Amino acid sequence: MGNTSTSADSVDMEKLGAKIEQASAFIDDIYSELNKVIVGQRYMIDRLLIGLLADGHVLLEGVPGLAKTLTVSSLAKVIDTKFQRLQFTPDLLPADLVGTLIYNQKEAEFTVKKGPIFANIILADEINRSPAKVQSALLEAMQEQQVTIGEETYPLDDPFLALATQNPVEQEGTYPLPEAQVDRFMMKIKIDYPTEQEELEIMRRMAKTGAAEELKPVINTKKVLEAREVINDIYVDEKVEKYIIDLVFATRNPEKYNLKDLSELINFGASPRASINLNLAARAHAFMQHRAYVTPEDVRTIAMDVLRHRIIPTFEAEAENITSEDLVDKILSTVQVP
């Protein structure tokens, strides 16, 4: 990833600042276009954009009816990308996702029929409704950015962003994602109900029949890939890098960080993927603020989303109703901020 361990003196911050300012101008255009259709949900939009810019997949959790699908499909329209929504169901097969070989009698040979996963942004709706086979087909695609059909391997489009939703309420007839697979998501975000004011605005806009407002593309995929290149150059000070490492290591060795009481509550801490993703997501967050450097506040803003699904609480913690989020909160309030 870009030149991170250099000192601020050797990086021309003024030049870099101007470059970031110019490269990130489209972020405001995306927000204003999305505001035509989506009320509130700034947190969800922010995190989806971070995922897109930092090349990380996002798991969204929230009850039905919170505009998750609308937000994702609207974002795809604003970025002029190929978008596919896949409804995960118990009878879905891996071939329904990645594609299959079809025998052509006339030619007496097999031809490839590519599945809906060949898109830039895919929404795996209710990912925990389909069996492990289908989940792992999606997760292979997320990890390798390629799929295998028959004997051949096919690369997926670039950018490729997988967004998956799961409903926290109904556990009946669901297949929970294994920890190792959940770790492949850069962020797990929890979506809450809108405020009264937002809900009033939603009701006024939506309680009408007829076509919704059309969204116009603001940027294309080329621009997204260019932005990713620029994000690699965003400056991360050594103190901020050390802060990221401290947060991740506090999940593994809490006693070293004055968090002795957490030792009994954390079964597994965050993997090295957490450090990488914290760094990338913090840079993307700085980019969205039109800034050429990462602050500890960028790290703190996205830390919960990057860590909440990577810490496995012990049975003792669960017995006391202590969630992984409580543990992240405790770590964030105890580990020293540079």
Residues 6+ apart with CB under 8 A from 159: 52, 55, 81, 120, 221, 224, 225, 228
Instruction: Please check whether residue 244 is in contact with residue 287, taking contact to mean a CB–CB distance below 8 angstroms.
Output: no
Residues 104 and 107: their CA atoms lie apart, in Å, by: 6
Residue burial 135-163, b: 16+ Cβ < 10 Å; e: rest: bebbbbbbeeeebebeeeeeebbebbbbb
Say what the pLDDT of residue 231 is.
Answer: 92
Say what the pLDDT of residue 3 is.
Answer: 47
Q: At what angle do helices 42-53 and 68-78 cross, to 10 degrees?
A: 50
Per the omega criterion (within 30 degrees of 0), is the bond before 94 cis? no
What residue type is assigned to position 179 of the chain?
E
Say what the pLDDT of residue 141 is.
Answer: 86
What burial class does residue 243 get, using C-beta atoms within 10 Å of its C-beta: 0-12 exposed, 13-18 middle, 19+ buried? buried
The structure tokens 């913090």 sit at 282
User: Which domains does the chain carry?
Assistant: 8-334 (3.40.50.300)
What burial class does residue 274 get, using C-beta atoms within 10 Å of its C-beta: 0-12 exposed, 13-18 middle, 19+ buried? buried
Residues 45 and 76: their CA atoms lie apart, in Å, by: 12
Residues 170 and 51: their CA atoms lie apart, in Å, by: 26
DSSP secondary structure letter of residue 185: S
Say what the pLDDT of residue 2 is.
Answer: 47
SS3 content of the chain, % helix, strand, coil (to 5): 45, 15, 40
First-residue to last-residue Cα distance in the chain: 23
Say what the pLDDT of residue 192 is.
Answer: 82
Q: Which of 312, 310, 248 is nearest to 279 (CA)?
A: 248
Say what the pLDDT of residue 188 is.
Answer: 93
Full pLDDT tens readout for the chain, 338 residues = 444 445 555 567 888 888 888 888 889 999 888 888 887 778 888 999 999 999 999 999 887 777 788 888 888 889 888 899 988 888 888 888 888 888 877 777 888 888 889 999 999 988 888 888 888 888 888 888 888 888 888 899 888 999 998 877 656 667 778 777 788 899 999 888 878 888 888 787 777 766 566 788 888 888 888 999 999 999 999 999 999 999 999 999 999 988 888 888 998 899 999 999 999 999 999 999 999 999 999 999 999 999 999 999 999 988 999 899 999 999 999 999 98
Nearest 5°: CA angle at 169, between 167 and 174?
65
Query: What is the Rg, in whole angstroms, of the alpha carbon atoms belonging to the chain?
Result: 21
